[in-house]
Amino acid sequence: MSRQTAVRLTDETYERLKALAEKTGRTATFYIREAIEQHLEDLEDLYLAEQTLAQVREGKERTYSLDEVERDLGLAD
């Protein structure tokens, strides 16, 4: 299922998007969807990292050194 939404773009952004779509034979919708999906992934990763950092600072989560990880996985020399 997909939903439709509206996005307001500056004239400059719209023209750039339109030019890219024309040059590549793809639709503007394709590039809008791709940009949103990629940026959402980045934002989700950032949010998770910020939450984890806060938990580490509060002592609720611990970090592991590379030596510890290698040892625990049997990768140490």
| Residue 4 included in any domain | no
| Residue 2 included in any domain | no
Query: What is the count of structural domains for the chain?
Result: 1
Contact between 47 and 40 under an 8 Å Cβ cutoff? The reply is no
> Which structural domain, as residue segments, surrounds residue 15?
11-72
Q: Full-prediction pTM beyond 0.95?
A: no
| Residue 31 included in any domain | yes
| Residue 77 included in any domain | no
| Residue 6 included in any domain | no
| Residue 37 included in any domain | yes
Q: Which pLDDT score is estimated for 12? A: 98
DSSP 8-state class, residue 73: T
Q: List the one residue out of 42, 20, 40 whose CA is nearest residue 29.
A: 20
Chunked into runs of 10 residues, the chain (77 residues) has average pLDDT values of: 93 98 97 96 97 97 95 89
